[in-house]
Amino acid sequence: MKREIFDKEAFKKEVKDNVRMLYRKDLEEASEQEIFQAVSYAVKEVIIDQWMETQSSMKREDSKVVYYMSMEFLMGRALGNNLINLTAYQAVAEALEEMGLDLNVIEDQEPDPALGNGGLGRLAACFMESLSTLGYPAYGCGIRYRYGMFKQKIKDGFQVEVPDNWLKDGYPFELRRPEYTYEVKFGGYVRAVNTPDGRVKFVQEGYQSVKAVPYDMPIIGYNNHMVNTLMIWDAEPAECFELDSFDKGDYRKAVEQENLARNLVDVLYPNDNHIAGKELRLKQQYFFVSASVQRAIARFKKMHSDIHDLPKKVAFQLNDTHPTVAVAELMRYLLDEEELQWDDAWNITTQVCAYTNHTIMAEALEKWPIEIFSRLLPRIYQIVEEINRRFILQIQEHYPGDNGKIERMAIIYNGQVKMAHLAIAAGHSVNGVARLHTEILKNQELKDFYELFPDKFNNKTNGITQRRFLLHGNQLLAKWVTDHVGEEWITDLSKIEKLTLYVDDEKAQHEFMNIKYQNKLRLAKYIKEHNGIDVDPRSIFDVQVKRLHEYKRQLLNVLHIMYLYNELKEHPDMEFYPRTFIFGAKAAAGYKNAKLTIKLINSVAEVINNDKSIQDKIKVVFIEDYRVSNAEWIFAAADVSEQISTASKEASGTGNMKFMLNGAVTIGTMDGANVEMAEEVGKENMFIFGMSSDEVIAHEKNRDYDPMQIFNNDQDIRKVLMQLINGFYSPQDSELFRDLYNSLLNTQCTQYADTYFILADFRSYAEAQKAITEAYKDEKGWAKMAMLNTAHSGKFSSDRTIEEYVRDIWHLEKLTVEPEKED
Ligand code: GPW
C-alpha cells in the first residue's frame, strides 16, 4: 500500500498539537512566529521519514557519495521550498486556510538562513537541491555561522550593517547531531617519534582543540522521496580546562582554548570576491574541513575495511580554494592515522579531490603568509611543504632550468602558501564555471598549469534551480508554463523550449505579459511598503541586483541614469518611455567605493524621484537588504536584467539566468555565462554592448587605455562626471563623491584610472539602453522576446550542471528511494 505522505486532517491536528507542546498555547493565542515553528515541525515530521529512508537505501546500495565542501551555503528560506518539493504546497496552503492561516504570511516569518555572500554560496545551495532532485547521494559540508550575512539598513542613503541573528527563535529544520562530534586541533608543534618497528611517526603536541558538533539540515528532492544532508558545523569548547596532556594545568592556555571555540564560528566573513586574509578565517576553514573529512572517513570505514577503496566511494568537491586544506588534511589522515606511504596516500587524495575556480580577480586569490599557516596548522604545513617539494621536482623535470615556471607555479613561494596552486596540484579536476571563464583560465590565468596538466581542466557552466526560482518564486508563470508545455520542465528544464510554439500567439503573449504585470504589481507594493516610493507598474522595470562590486559596474548603470536625467531636463519634450531603475546590493563593510556607490544611487534617487518636472518618467529605487527571499519576487517582476560587468571579470553570473528564466530581457556584456545565454536565445533577443574580453585583456596588457581622452571629447559624459564633484547630488558636501570621480579619471588612485572600463563602454551601453526602449514600445515584439528568453533558458538549470559534474568528475549512481511498505 502506498502511504499518503500528507493527510490534511492529520496535518491540522499536528499543527495545533505543536503549538501546545512548544508554547503551551492554543492556536488563537500563538504569535505568527510560533505558528511558523509549529507548521515547520509538522512538515519536518514528514521529512524525517523520507530522510531515514534515503539514508538506509544509501547504506543498502553502498553508493558513492559526493561531499560538496563550501564555506558558504546561501540557502534562503526552507519552508516554502520544502513544501514545493514534497509536492504538498497546495494541500498545506488549503489546510492552513481552513484554520484561518495564510501560508504566505507564515513563510514570511522564517529568517533567511544567509550563510553565504552571493553567487558562490547560492550556487552551492542550488547544487544541493539539484543533487537531491536528481537522486544523487550527497552531503554539503559547511559552517553553522551564528551570524550569517549582515542585514542591510539604509540610513540617510548610506548602508548600515546590522547583525543577522538568524538563530534567535530557534531554527526548526536543523537537527543537532552530537553523536558525530569530532576534535579539531590548532597550533602546538610537531614531534617526530620513532616507532618500535623502525618508522617515524609525527605527532602534534601542545595544541589547542575545539569540539566540532554538526547540525544536519534536510535537502529535499522534488517529488522523489530523496533527502540529502547539509552538515554545518558548530564549535564548542573542548571539555572545560581539558588540555593536551602536555599542557595540563596551564590555566591561561585553557582559557584561550575556550575562547577559540567561542569565536570560531561567530560570523560569516562578508566579502565577496575578496580575501581579507584574517587568521580567524583560516581557522574556520580548517575547522569545518577537518571535521567533515573525519565524518566522511568514519562513514566510509563503517562499511569498508580497505582505505584504498576511498576514491570508489567518496568524492570531495572544493568550492573555490576556501576548503583546499582538505587536501592536506586527507593526506595527514592517510599518512599519520592509516600509516600509508606517501605515494599511496597521494594517489588516493588526488582521486578524491577536485577543485572549482570561481574567479580570476587577483584580490580573491587566497594566499596565506607562511607565518600564520605554519603556526596555526603545523602538521598540515609540513605536509604542504612536502607536496610543494615534490611538485617543484615535477616542474623541473618538465622544464629543466626554467625558474620562471617555479616562480609562477610553486605552492609555497615568497613567504606565502598559494591555495589555488595546491588545489590544482592535488586535485584530479580543475573546472571553471562558464565556457569563457574556463578558456581564460586555460589561456591566461592558469596557462602554466594547463600546459602541465591539460587533462585536469574542464568547464562546468553554472546553473540555477527552477524549483525555487520559477516554481516557488513565480507561481503564476509556473502554472502558465505547465498549462502550455506540461509539468516536465520542473525536473527537465530543456522541456520549457516547447514554449517557442506560442511566441507568436497573441493570446499567449497577452497572458505572458499579464503575468509579468501581476508580478510587477506585487513588487510595486513591496517597494511602497519598504521604501515609501510609488512606482508605476506600467513603466519598464530595469533591475540590477547582485553584490556591489566595482567590476559589476553598478556605477555604469547609475552614471547612465544621471545622463538620462540630464537629457530629460535639457529636452523636456523628448519622447521618453517611463522607466523604473531598481537596485539591490550589499557592499562589504570595508569596501569604500562600493559603499559610496550605494550612497550615490540613493542620492540620485532622492533628486530624480522628487523632481516633479519630469513627470515620473524616471524612478530610481534601492531595495534594502537584497537577499534570497525578496530576490524571488524581484526576478519575477523584471523586464530588463542588467548584466553589465567588464568583459572577462564575471566568471559566470547566475542572477543572469534567474532573470532569463522569468522572462526578463538582458542588457549585458559578452562576459561569463551571458555568452552562452546569447548562444541559446540568439543575440537578437538580448541587448549586447561593450568591449569583448579579448579587447579588455589586450588593453590591460598594453596599458594603453586613457579614460581622460573620453572625458575630454564627450561632453555628456563630462557633464555627468562633473556632477559627481560639483554637489549636484550632494549639496551639503560637494566632495562626497570625489573618490568615485577619481576612480574613473585619476591614475594616482589605482594602478590605472577606470580599471573597469566604465567610460570606454558608456556610449555603447547608452545605445543599447535606447534600443531597449524602442523594443519595449513594440508590445508584441517585446512579449515574443521575453517569452523566447524563458523558452531558451533550459540549459541553465543546475540539474544540467550537476549531471555534467556527475558524468565527468564524481561518477555517482542514482539512488531510488522507495517509501517503506506499511503492511
Ligand atoms: F572569489 N563568486 C562569489 F571566486 O560569489 F571565490 N564569491 C566569491 O568569493 C567568488 C566568486 C570567488 C561568484 C562569481 O563572482 C560569479 O561570477 C559566479 O557566478 C559565482 O561565484 C558562482 O560560480
What would the pLDDT profile of 106-162 be if each residue is shown by its tens digit?
Answer: 999 999 999 999 999 999 999 999 999 999 999 999 999 999 999 999 999 999 999
Is the pLDDT at 505 greater than 80? The verdict is: yes
User: Are β-strands 158-162 and 151-155 bridged in parallel, bridged antiparallel, or unpaired?
Assistant: antiparallel
Q: Please say if 87 is a catalytic residue.
A: no
Catalytic residue, chosen from 211, 358, 520, 627, is: 358
Is the pLDDT at 1 greater than 90? The verdict is: no
To 10 degrees, what angle do helices 628-637 and 506-531 make? 140
**Confidence at 6, pLDDT banded by 50, 70, 90:** confident
Question: What value does the mean pLDDT of the chain take?
Answer: 96
Is the pLDDT at 823 greater than 80? The verdict is: no
| Pocket probe mutation, ligand 1, options 149, 321, 358, 436, max atoms within 8 Å of Cβ | 358
What would the pLDDT profile of 252-305 be if each residue is shown by its tens digit?
Answer: 888 888 899 999 999 999 999 999 999 999 999 999 999 999 999 999 999 999
Is the pLDDT at 194 greater than 80? The verdict is: yes
* Ligand 1 atom having least distance to the Cα of 271: 9
- Give mean pLDDT, residues 432-445: 98
**Confidence at 244, pLDDT banded by 50, 70, 90:** confident
Measured between alpha carbons, how far is 320 from 461 in angstroms, rounded to an integer? 15
Measured between alpha carbons, how far is 112 from 145 in angstroms, rounded to an integer? 13
Q: What is the pLDDT of residue 3?
A: 46
- Give mean pLDDT, residues 236-265: 83
Cα torsion 754, 760, 763, 768: sign: negative
Q: Please say if 191 is a catalytic residue.
A: no
Is the pLDDT at 245 greater than 80? The verdict is: no
Q: What is the pLDDT of residue 752?
A: 83
Is the pLDDT at 477 greater than 80? The verdict is: yes
Is the pLDDT at 822 greater than 60? The verdict is: no
Ligand 1: centre distance to CA 384 (Å):
26
Is the pLDDT at 773 greater than 70? The verdict is: yes
What would the pLDDT profile of 565-607 be if each residue is shown by its tens digit?
Answer: 999 999 999 999 999 999 999 999 999 999 999 999 999 999 9
C-alpha cell at 302: 563503517
Measured between alpha carbons, how far is 325 from 419 in angstroms, rounded to an integer? 8
Residue 264, SS3?
helix
Is the pLDDT at 45 greater than 50? The verdict is: yes
Q: What is the pLDDT of residue 749?
A: 59
Full set of structural domains in the chain with CATH: 1-61+81-110 (no CATH), 64-76+112-462+806-810 (3.40.50.2000), 486-692+756-793 (3.40.50.2000)
Is the pLDDT at 547 greater than 50? The verdict is: yes
What would the pLDDT profile of 701-752 be if each residue is shown by its tens digit?
Answer: 999 999 999 999 999 999 999 999 999 999 999 999 999 999 999 876 566 8
Q: Please say if 510 is a catalytic residue.
A: no
Ligand 1: centre distance to CA 655 (Å):
12
Q: Please say if 546 is a catalytic residue.
A: yes
Q: pLDDT > 70: what percent of the chain?
A: 98
**Total H helices, total E strands in the chain:** 32, 23
**Confidence at 184, pLDDT banded by 50, 70, 90:** very high
Q: What is the pLDDT of residue 240?
A: 59
Q: What is the pLDDT of residue 248?
A: 77
Q: What is the pLDDT of residue 537?
A: 98
Q: What is the DSSP string of 397-438?
A: HHSTT-HHHHHHH-SEETTEEEHHHHHHHH-S-EEESSHHHH
Residue 45, SS3?
helix
With a Cβ cut-off of 6 Å, ligand 1 is lined by: 117-120, 123, 272-273, 320, 358-359, 364, 433, 462, 650-654, 672
